[in-house]
Amino acid sequence: MSDSLFILVASLLSNVVAQISKMFVYYYRTGKWDIHWCLASGGFPSSHSSTVTTLSLCVGFIEGFGSSIFAITCVFSFIVMYDACHVRYYTGKNIELTQQLIKDLSTMMGLRFDDPIYQEKLKTILGHKLVEVVGGFILGLIIALILWPFFS
């Protein structure tokens, strides 16, 4: 397998393992199986974090940890993890708050929100808590470290 293909396969495998893991974590927390978690955003572990961590580590293995491309992938990874933890998480919180305000105004003030925009069901879990990002980071490291000996 070529170096480029190894990086791609390892990174995508890390994403798939993280997504499937979410279903097991959900089962552990609730006692219920929900296959929806295999495709869902948010939750533990962060597949965004695991994917970019594996990507960076595999690039480091192949190109060297002192290479420019490794530095680029690290910066890219930090941006993705920051976004998953902060920007996307608080976007979800903003949606949650807005939906609650609409509900409260409707209930307490008797206001009617007839426009279809108010009836849309928006997903509130978009991003990750810090522990979910760290979990994805650790999973990404583990996947890369397990796969590397088979391809080096």
Mind listing the pLDDT tens digit for each residue in 25-38? 999 999 999 888 88
Residue 20 in contact with residue 107, Cβ under 8 Å? no
The identity of residue 56, as a single letter, is S
**Mean pLDDT of the 90-95 span:** 74
Instruction: Give the separation between CA 117 and CA 75, rounded to whole angstroms.
Output: 37
Residue 94 in contact with residue 127, Cβ under 8 Å? no
pLDDT tens, residue by residue, 96-110: 788 788 788 778 877
Helices within the chain (DSSP H only): 3-30, 47-63, 68-82, 88-109, 130-151
**Mean pLDDT of the 121-147 span:** 86
- 126 — pLDDT class (breaks 50, 70, 90): low
Tokens 């929806």, residue located: 36
Instruction: Give the separation between CA 62 and CA 95, rounded to whole angstroms.
Output: 42
pLDDT of residue 125: 61
Instruction: Give the separation between CA 66 and CA 84, rounded to whole angstroms.
Output: 27
> How much is the pTM?
0.79
Instruction: Give the separation between CA 123 and CA 121, rounded to whole angstroms.
Output: 7
130, pLDDT greater than 90: no
Structural domain count of the chain: 1
The residue range of the domain holding 82 is: 3-151
Dihedral, CA of residue 87, residue 89, residue 93 and residue 95, to nearest 10: 70
Lowest average pLDDT, out of 7-11, 43-47, 53-57, 143-147, goes to: 43-47
- 134 — pLDDT class (breaks 50, 70, 90): very high
5, pLDDT greater than 70: yes
